[in-house]
Amino acid sequence: MTVRRLPLSLRLGLVLVALLLGVALLSLVWTPFPADKVRVVARLRPPGAGHWLGTDHFGRDVLSMIMVGARNSLSIAAAAVGLGLLFGVPLGLAAAALGRWGDEILARLGDLVFAFPAVLSAILLTAVLGAGAVNVVLALGLFNAAVLARVTRGAALAVWRREFVRAALALGRGPLSVTRVHVLPNVAGVVVVQATVLFAVAIVNEAALSYLGLGIQPPSPSWGKMLGDAQTHLFNAPLQAVFPGAAIALSVLGLTLLGDGLRDWLDPRQRGESGLL
């Protein structure tokens, strides 16, 4: 028996995502300092022995804030992707099973959601309902549901055309049973890959909204808000604008590598098509 070697992108992605998860989980039990501890006398300290990544304009420890920020960012992205999976996958499966009309309705709904880039719909929602994590999750979740419904539908249609599905139908299985037993397991890989990519997109969008002050609200730390605060102190503490951004970039890099690697691993014919590693 031969064991398929994991693509380099998948291995790198796994390492980075494990690191991100590890930091987020560690922040539940330990951070170097309490992330919300204000010490004005220690404001804007450069990185050093006491504070490894320095302090912000309130004297809060930047490393601790980044650790808690990882947890917040992951929680919001996970909720937004979870919401997308919850609604998008059944919608996509139903559209493929229902045929022409289901398809048409889903396509129009998709067009409508895609008319509002995720950040724009989040801005609209926060304008109406107020800023906050829940509204960000709702807006990003809606966008994710539309993307996942489209991807699921495409993959499910291909499965519906395969012979084993026709055989199951000929044997008297109903559409619901065929969807559950045959279609869902065969589209799961594609959905997982897409969900990984959407997770990365959700992290970026959450950071952008928090940068604008529309996402996670203070005193809860957020990478986007940290960047917004750091921008006003670029002259005194330039490094404060580097660390939170690097945390976002490394997380997104890890997740996109993981998504690309998973796609290559699940479907070796596509290896290199994503153009990566």
Q: Which is nearer to another protein, 182 or 225 (CB)?
A: 225
Helical pair 100-114 and 133-160, crossing angle rounded to 10 deg: 150
Find the binder of another protein among 25, 112, 134, 181 (CB under 8 A): 112
Nearer to another protein, 125 or 216 (CB): 125
Whole-number Cα distances in Å, 40 to 43, 52, 59, 67, 238? 5, 18, 5, 21, 18
- The span of 85-93, 147-155, 187-195, 222-230 binding another protein (CB under 8 A) equals 222-230
Q: Which of 20, 74, 125, 262 binds another protein (CB under 8 A)?
A: 125
Q: Is 18 in the site for another protein (CB under 8 A)?
A: no
Nearer to another protein, 85 or 139 (CB): 139
Q: How far, in whole angstroms, is CA 2 from its chain's centroid?
A: 33
Least separation, in Å, of the C-beta of 119 and another protein? 4
Residues in the chain: 277
Q: Return d(Cα 165, Cα 183) in angstroms, integer.
A: 8
Among 32, 169, 245, 271, binds another protein (CB under 8 A): 245
Residue 109, SS3 per DSSP? helix
Minimum separation from the CB atom of position 271 to another protein (A): 12
Given a contact cutoff of 8 angstroms between Cβ atoms, the answer to whether 256 and 13 are in contact is yes
Q: Dihedral sign for Cα 169, 173, 177, 181, please.
A: negative
Instruction: For residue 127, give the amino acid letter.
Output: A
Residues in contact with another protein by CB under 8 A are 108, 111-112, 114-120, 123-129, 200, 204, 207-208, 211-212, 214, 224, 227, 230-231, 234-235, 238, 241-242, 245, 248-250, 252-253, 256-257, 273-277
